[in-house]
Each structure stands twice: as structure tokens, then as C-alpha cells.
Amino acid sequence: MIREDFLQYLWGQHLLPTAPLSLSNGERLDILSYGETNPYGGPDFFNARLRIGKLQWAGNVELHTASSQWYAHHHEEDPAYGNVILHVVWEHDVEVFDFQQNIIPTLELKTIISPDLVEKYTHLQQSQASFIPCEKQINTLSNHLITNWLDHLYTERLKEKAQPIFELLQQTQQDWEAVFFLRLLSSFGGNINGEAFWEAGKQLPFSVIRKQMHNLTQLEALLMGQLRLLEATDINCPYYRSLQQEYQYLVHKYTLPPALFKVQFAKLRPPNFPTIRLAQIAALYHEELSLFNRCMSLDSYEQALDLFVKITPSPYWKNHFSFGKESKESSKRITPAQIANLWINTIIPMQYAFAHSRGKDTLADCKAKMRAPPP
């Protein structure tokens, strides 16, 4: 039986046939960019680029073993899947629509993937006796070969993470700070809310963030409001009401689009609640007015730790994890684990892409930073 991780493998490793592909409706499909793996909640890959017929599309890709799983997972009700431009399935058994009733193009794989590839993957998956299938062969490889292989992996990882940065630059008129803001949002959102943070960030012009950096309350209001955390009418809390008022004022002032994406609290520990993560981001931009430049000049994880760990959200969050529910006082600073994740997956790739755009070869330097694990 075909599993979804096989489809993830095919798409993530770019193993689809190079010949022109056809969608379920017969239209020609050309894959210009497979996009980037999404480790958070939402579609499986984001920032893909496709040509369908004569039109080019940019957006997200969702994978399922059968088309009908789209409805089994209730994606048709979720705005987070509104930017899916391609549904990749092993078997196409039903047409699917997004939450706005737009039909989603579908690519069926079972007729175009080699049976030999399916057999090899199945064999690897069934190799349960070893920790990894090639475990017994590792001792036959020279240290030189392993070192070169690891170096290649670091290079591949950096370039893979840099590619969507370059694509985002085209969408933001070469605004590096705006791109960095989106990458930070995605990282702070984590596995559960990364996609919602990302999509809300794309709706919120970074020019607005720039103008409000000196006002922490308004920064919080913007972020909380765009993620629909200020819609409750039964929270009797002065701070909450002040954020609601600020947000309504800012929506009117900047003609902001309606908020579409809701966050989730389920399965999250309180320190990882979206309210806390958004409060941290607001404090970060309020306290570090030149955040992008500071991050581009960081030489080590220790420097990143010094920069981020001192950031303190507004006083309200000292004894709250969510609105209207007081809790025991605790620190809501950005944790070393968060900072390590930011350093490896957001800051170093951004440094590489930023230097590359200016004709500087920092590949070796960035790989060295990735090799030096946080303590």
C-alpha cells in the first residue's frame, strides 16, 4: 500500500519524470520549482512555482494518497489551504475545492511513477532490522568520503533554504527586511502555527510594521489582530480591549485586509502559545529597530543568544499565557532552544542569501556556522 511519506519523498527529492506532465483534466504541467518543505502546520510544500498551460503560478502544494483525503482532513474549510496551487495524489478519486470553492488542479502519480522506484522504496521501508538500512555498510566508507558527503549535505541544505528567499524577494520588491520578517514569523509559529503566521504575515505589509516599531502596544495589536486573536467579545480585560481598539484604528488607518487565518492552541504547551510567540516578535521589533542588520552581522550562535535572550514581551504577559486568564508569574523571554532553531534555520540561510545577492561567496563561512552546534 502506498503511503504519503513516499509521495513526500518523490516530491521532495524531485523524482517526478522530466517529460511534460499532464493534470487530471489534461492540462500540461511544468514544474519550475518544487518549493520548500513545510515543517509546520498547513500544506506540505510552500513557495512552489508551476506553469499550468500558459500561466505561471506560485503557491503551496499538498500531497495525499487519494484526492478524497482533502475532504477527510477538512482542508476545504481551512483558509490555510487557500493558496494551494496543486494537489499531488497517488490516486485521483474525486475533484477537490478550496474554502472559496475554487477547483484545485490535481496531478495523479500512479500512472507516471516507475514500478521499480516503488519497489525500491518499499524495500527500504521494510528494512526494519537496522537502525538505518545502510547501517552495516557505513564502516566500508572512508572518512574522506563521509566528510565530502556531509559537506555536500550542508551545501545542499543552505541552497535549498536560500532559494525561497530569492523568490520572496521578487514578491516584496527586493525588501530584505520584509522577507526576514516572514521567515521569523514562520519560525516563531512552530510546527502548529507556522503556516498561519506565514500567511498572515504576507497579508500585513512590512511597511506598516516599520511605522509602528516605536509603539509596542500597536505592534502587538497588529500581529494579534491579523491572526484573529482579538475577536472575542466575552473577555473582560482592559489590556485586551485596548488592543482591540488599537487594531481597529490601525485597520482603518492602513486599510488592512480582513484577517483570514486562525491559530491553534491545542497540543501546545503554554510557553509555545501563539499569544506568547506573537508578543515575543512584537517586543523583538520594538527593542531592535535594526533587527535585520543586526542579524546579518552575527558571527556565532553565542552572539545570536546575546541578541535574542534579552528581549522581554510587554508586562501583561508576565502573568498571562492567553488573554483574560491570569497565571503564575514566569519569564516569557525567547528560549535558547528557540534561538538555536532561529540561528540554524533562519538566520544563517538569510546571511548566505544576502551575501550571495551582493556577489560575496560566504558558502564556506555559513557551512562552518552550521557545523558548530549550539552548546
Please state, rounded to an integer, the average pLDDT across all residues of the chain. 90
Residue recorded with cell 474554502: 99
Whole-number Å distance between alpha carbons of 25 and 4: 23
What is the Cα–Cα distance from 190 to 173, expressed in whole angstroms?
A: 27
In three-state secondary structure terms, 27 is coil
Residue 72 CA from chain centroid, whole number: 23
Give the N- to C-terminal CA distance of the chain in Å, as an integer.
Answer: 43
User: Considering the entire predicted model, what is its pTM?
Assistant: 0.67
| Cα distances (angstroms) measured from residue 147 to each of 142, 189, 260, 265, 371 | 9, 34, 47, 42, 12
Q: CA torsion angle for 274, 277, 283, 286 (degrees, to 10)?
A: -80
What does the chain come to in residues?
A: 375
| 331/353 Cα distance (integer angstroms) | 34
Which pLDDT score is estimated for 375? 66
- 3-state DSSP percent of the chain in helix, strand and coil, to 5: 50, 15, 35
- Return the closest-CA partner of residue 39 out of 149, 132, 164, 127: 164
Q: Tell me, what's the pLDDT at 126?
A: 67
- Assess contact for 110 and 89: CB atoms under 8 A: no
Q: Tell me the backbone φ, ψ of residue 253, rounded to 5 degrees.
A: -65, -45
Whole-angstrom distance, CA of residue 125 vs CA of residue 54: 39
Of residues 194, 222, 226, 331, the one with CA closest to residue 271: 331
Check residue 101 and give its pLDDT. Answer: 87
Query: Residue 143 and residue 145: Cα distance in Å, rounded?
Result: 5
Give residue-wise pLDDT tens across range 114-160: 888 888 777 776 665 556 666 666 777 788 887 888 888 888 888 88
User: Residue 36: what are its φ and ψ, rounded to 5°?
Assistant: -125, 140
Q: Residue 66: what pLDDT?
A: 95
Residue ranges, the chain, pLDDT below 70: 40, 125-137, 373, 375
Nearest one of 168, 361, 195, 162 to 274, comparing CA atoms? 195
Task: Report the distance separating Cα 196 and Cα 191, nearest Å.
Answer: 10
Single-letter amino acid code for the residue at 138: I
* Structural contact between residues 282 and 233, judged by C-beta atoms closer than 8 angstroms: no
In sequence order, what are the beta bridge partners of 49?
Answer: 33, 58
